[in-house]
Amino acid sequence: MPAPKKTARRSLLVTSAVLSSLALAAPAAVAAPKPSGSPSASASPSASPSATPPASMSTVGGARLGRPGTQVNLASGVPVLPKDLSARSWIVADAESGDVLASHNAHWRLAPASTLKMLFADTLLPKFPRDTEHKVVPSDLAGIGPGSSMVGIKEDETYSVHDLWLGVFLQSGNDAVHVLSAMNKGVENTVEEMNEHAEELQALDTHVVSPDGYDAEGQVSSAYDLTLIARSGMQKKDFREYASTVTAKFPGETKKDKKGKKVRKPFEIRNTNRLLAGDVDVDVYQGIAGVKNGNTTNAGATFTGVAERGGKVLLVTVMNPSKPEHNEVYKETARLFDWGFKAAGKVQPVGELVPPKGAAQAGDQPGANPSGEAGGSGDGGSATAGTGSKPVAGAPAADGTSGIGTALGITGGVLVLLAGGAFLVNRRWPLPDLVRRRTRP
């Protein structure tokens, strides 16, 4: 489907949340070599993959994005790309305009690992209010792959939806994904809905088999698609909050103390996104605001990040660096962010992030507002949207979360109702304010 005109595209940041979102308060067909570590999961053995991308790939977003190799328009005043990139696939895009500043094998269909949880969240977040509670039964945790990353959910314990999403985003907990899937009529139904949502987003390289990103035959995505998905998710207030939270308290197991009284002590969980939380060899990236990392046997290391600097918001996705260095996926992402912030406004794009199908159709309708600006407010997924509440970013929240998990109130926009769905039309979505003040230690 052709993308809408440039003027409409540059003004549309879109989510395909259903109308109920307004009630909320917050191995592959082409497999990768086995990485040195596999925090998300370990999969069944699969055939060795080809080291080269297909000669012909999808051209969604532009013909150049379907070509193998690096695509960039270097010219006078445009900085040279980093020379030490080893990822099989990567992309640098302007999150707001949708311009793809540079890419490398953008549509190569590869195993996504836990970055697929972004699609899981973008699909399911609008469905359950965060204060909804659920008591876990054994069937909720059935089918979790061996070696999966877990947040530590226990049978017969009760968790809020808010707790479960913290487990998904911070610890990449496959157990939290399976419990939420059980609440959503099961894994099979959830997978079907994720595939439908991917199609609506025009993430056509993506095929979901397991909702948690665990290696499964035929499960693929691409750097281009993961960037589309992140762009959609980051327009939801709850998604932004969870993706940017560094640490939080998670409910522990109910036990009896020395006096025989039942107690349930929480424990701390920490975001495994190293550009957000830092590590011994990776600094917190200035302006980082999420999004999601992953690592499995067949996918290798994958990561999609969003960062803001100097009024620019960029999305970078990196898939499967071949260098064996520790945290290499974050190091290559940081270098691409650095390049993107220097190149933004100077480099001619090589393609675009297309809007969802429904938004593209709306943009082509007579009377559509190409500026994306109108009266009213909306946030694509929060009961507090439009209330004027602006909590201080970075301050500890009442629910025990901390870091940069508190988002600013919505600054403007309009909800356009289309074909039974709600799409946010807004030039800018507010990132947690603290990202503008975070600097490298």
Active site residues: 114, 117, 172
DSSP letter (8 states) at residue 114: G
Q: What number of other Cβ atoms are within 10 A of residue 73's Cβ?
A: 14
Beta strands in 153-195 (DSSP E): 158-160
Adjacent-strand bridge partners of 422: 17, 417
> Which residues fall within 8 angstroms of residue 182, CB to CB, at 6 or more apart?
139, 140
- Contacts (Cβ under 8 Å, ≥6 apart) of 73: 347, 348, 349, 350
Give CA–CA dist 432/287, Å, rounded: 10
Tokens 């898939």 found at: 319
Non-local (6+) Cβ contacts of 166 within 8 A are 151, 242, 245, 248, 250, 269, 401
In DSSP terms, 418 is beta-bridged to 421
DSSP one-letter code for 63: G
- Of 185, 119, 178, nearest to 150 by C-alpha is 178
Contact, 67 vs 59, CB < 8 A?
no
Which residues fall within 8 angstroms of residue 176, CB to CB, at 6 or more apart?
Answer: 151, 153, 164, 165, 167, 168
For the chain, what is the largest distance between any 2 Cα atoms, rounded to a whole number of angstroms?
Answer: 74
Contact at 8 Å (CB) between 198 and 224? no
- Tokens for 318, please give them: 């990196």
Determine if the peptide bond prior to 291 is cis (ω within 30°).
yes
Is residue 398 within 8 A of residue 360, CB to CB? The reply is no
The DSSP bridge partners found for residue 313 are 308
Distance CA 278, CA 245 (A): 13
Sequence-distant (6+) residues with CB within 8 A of 431 are 234, 240, 244, 289, 306, 308, 313, 407, 408
DSSP string for residues in 78-107 = PPPPPS---EEEEEEEETTT-EEEEEESTT
